């Protein structure tokens, strides 16, 4: 009798271990937080992005989706694409993100939001800036992040909403860098000809 009891206990232990392993494999996905914008999303199984922005793979994937939407819509591309690129880059400063890139994109936000220059006319001005400066100033990312992220843009249902949300996002990101506004204005005015 004792022998049967021991065998039964062993079988029960094996079954419990199997069930425990089964339920552990069924657990909720791990969550990841983007180091740049703070966006929290379910973690993917395999990382794929290799970029120098301070971003999670999951956040980068959303950004790529938004870029795809803008590339396939002439209205979006013409009206807000540059704001999207600049807002994302600036919001994901820090880590391996180079000072040159950050300053270029801060300047793009400045030209759009402070000088009122439309998106299609900004890249040539940023090219002037890139060619004029050899040593770029370092800017520490702000401690207060913008509340909007690329996530808000990715789930817009219409062209009008996409444009509105990108503008709100870009404005929020620009405001979070207010400590550097005067420095960016000087950098641009010293190195870019705005006709």
| Domain boundaries along the sequence of the chain | 32-191
Q: Which helix (H) or strand (E) holds 15?
A: helix 2-25
Spatial separation of the C-alpha atoms in residues 166 and 155, rounded to whole Å? 11
Who's near 48: CB < 8 A, 6+ residues apart?
Answer: 57, 61
- CB–CB of 60/43 below 8 Å? no
- CB–CB of 112/170 below 8 Å? yes
- CB–CB of 126/117 below 8 Å? no
Span between the terminal Cα atoms of the chain, in Å: 97
pLDDT score for 53: 87
pLDDT score for 17: 52
Q: What is the pLDDT of residues 118-162, one digit of tens each?
A: 999 999 999 999 999 999 999 999 999 999 999 999 999 999 999
């Amino acid at each position: 009798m004792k022998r049967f009891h021991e065998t039964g206990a062993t079988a029960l232990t094996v079954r419990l271990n199997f069930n425990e392993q089964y339920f552990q494999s069924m657990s909720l996905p791990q969550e990841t937080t983007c180091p740049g914008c703070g966006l929290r999303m379910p973690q993917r199984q395999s990382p794929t992005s290799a970029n120098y922005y301070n971003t999670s793979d999951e956040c980068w994937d959303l950004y790529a989706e938004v870029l795809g939407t803008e590339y396939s819509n002439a209205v979006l591309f013409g009206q807000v694409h540059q704001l999207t690129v600049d807002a994302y880059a600036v919001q994901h400063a820090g880590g391996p993100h180079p000072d040159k890139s950050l300053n270029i994109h801060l300047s793009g936000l400045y030209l759009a939001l402070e000088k009122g220059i439309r998106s299609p006319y900004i890249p040539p001005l940023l090219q002037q800036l890139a060619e004029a400066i050899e040593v770029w100033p370092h800017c520490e990312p702000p401690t207060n992040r913008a509340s909007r992220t690329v996530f808000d843009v990715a789930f817009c249902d219409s062209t009008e909403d996409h444009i509105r949300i990108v503008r709100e996002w870009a404005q929020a990101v620009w405001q979070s860098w207010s400590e550097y506004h005067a420095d960016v204005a000087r950098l641009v005015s010293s190195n870019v000809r705005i006709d």
